[in-house]
Amino acid sequence: MRIAVSATEADYNVAGVDPRFGRCSFFIIYDTETGEWSSFPNPAKDAVGGAAIKAVEFLKSKNVDVVVTGNLGPNATSSLTAAGIRAITGVTGKVLNAVKRAGE
């Protein structure tokens, strides 16, 4: 399973969960099968409009199964559903801990 977390920083070990989804600074993607993580700047962060939809398209291209974030708006929710990506919202704290909880 590939878990993407909206993150405040690029480093998996110190980043916090960003409460924003479409305009978060980074996405950290963790692969539960390999134990490897990758960090990507959010390509939709500075989009004039449609940031959530662009973020979902990016995550779909990375074969993400689950998104962990603080909040989702209606566009993000419908786009994630259409892409077949499950969302876990209301998450705070460190990315490292959020990934552990999401993988359980």
Is the per-residue pLDDT at 103 higher than 80? no
CA distance 91 to 97: 10
Per-residue pLDDT reduced to its tens digit, 4-35: 999 999 999 999 999 999 999 999 999 999 99
Query: What are the start-end ranges of the H helices in the chain?
Result: 51-61, 74-83, 95-102
Domains of the chain and CATH, by start: 2-94 (3.30.420.130)
Per-chain mean pLDDT for the chain: 94
Q: Give the pLDDT confidence score for residue 104 in this predicted structure.
A: 59
pTM of the entire predicted model:
0.93
CA distance 34 to 20: 27
